[in-house]
Structures are given as structure tokens and as C-alpha cells.
Amino acid sequence: MLIGEYKSTLGEKKRVSLPKKFREILGENLILTRGYEQALIVVNEGLWKKVAEEVMNGSFINKDIRDTSRFLVGGAKEIELDKQGRFVIPQSLLEHAELGEEVVFIGLINWVEIWDKKKWEERLKYLQEHGEEIAQEIGKMKDEKNG
């Protein structure tokens, strides 16, 4: 299970080291893509295939499905880790996430997000201030689904 928060530094060659605990769980065949709220997402190939299949199983006539495909699949890159667990973040993904020198890796059970440290601190503050409201909205959605 991918859990926890780890800080790291983006090197001058735009390389960053995936935390060892995450490497051990994710394995070697990894996909890096755009995430929401200007984060990046790292998943293993197995989960990626499931996500891509789910997205692509929708009708290409549906605009939301096309847009989601463009966003997630269109921006995806296969990444290779070196012996120290480092990988290069492509320029297009650096620009999407507006990554500075300090980054944060966040384990979210099945995937990992990469955030610019300052942006993560801002998002975390928002979540701390609005967490109860968000939880209540999720509860309402579950009730409607089960109701």
C-alpha cells in the first residue's frame, strides 16, 4: 500500500528520486502523467492499463471522455528509474505541475502524486480548512448512490 509523504529535491537535470518504499511497491514499469490540481501522478503499468481501459471504454462521441483521455493518456510518459531510483521528469509535465526545486511525493494507496512543495502546502491548508465539508459532500454522494 502506497502511503505517506516524502520530500525530495528536483536536480538540475530535472531528475528526482522516487522514495524507496514507493519503488518497492510500484516496481519498475512506471507511468508518469498529469494529475489534477497541478500534481503529477505515478502509477505502475498494471494500474495504468486498468485506468486507460476504463477511460477508453467510454464512447469517443462523449466530450468529457475525450477530454479526460487527452488529459490523462495524452500526457502520459513511461519512466525508467536509474540504480538510485531517479527518473527525469519531461518538460511538458514539469510545466504542468510548475515544479520548483522542492517537491513532495504523496502515497495515495494505489498511486503516488508529485507536488511542488509550496503548492502542496497551499492545498494541504485548504484541505485542513475544508476537510469536514468535503467529507460531508462525499457522504451525501454515497447516500444518493445507495439511496
3-state secondary structure of 124: helix
Q: How far apart are CA 122 and CA 38, in angstroms?
A: 12
Residue 14: CA atoms inside 13 Å, Cβ hemisphere, count?
A: 12
Cα 16 from Cα 104, distance rounded (Å): 10
pLDDT for the residue 58: 73
Residue 137, class by beta-carbon neighbours within 10 Å (0-12 exposed, 13-18 middle, 19+ buried)?
A: exposed
What's the confidence (pLDDT) of residue 136? Answer: 86
C-alpha cell at 24: 518497492
Averages of pLDDT over runs of 10 residues in the chain (147 residues) are 97 95 95 96 94 77 84 92 96 97 97 98 94 84 77
Please report the pLDDT score of residue 82 as a whole number.
94
**Predicted local confidence at residue 147, as pLDDT:** 67
Reported pTM: 0.89
Domains of the chain: 2-117 (3.40.1550.20)
First-to-last CA distance in the chain? 31
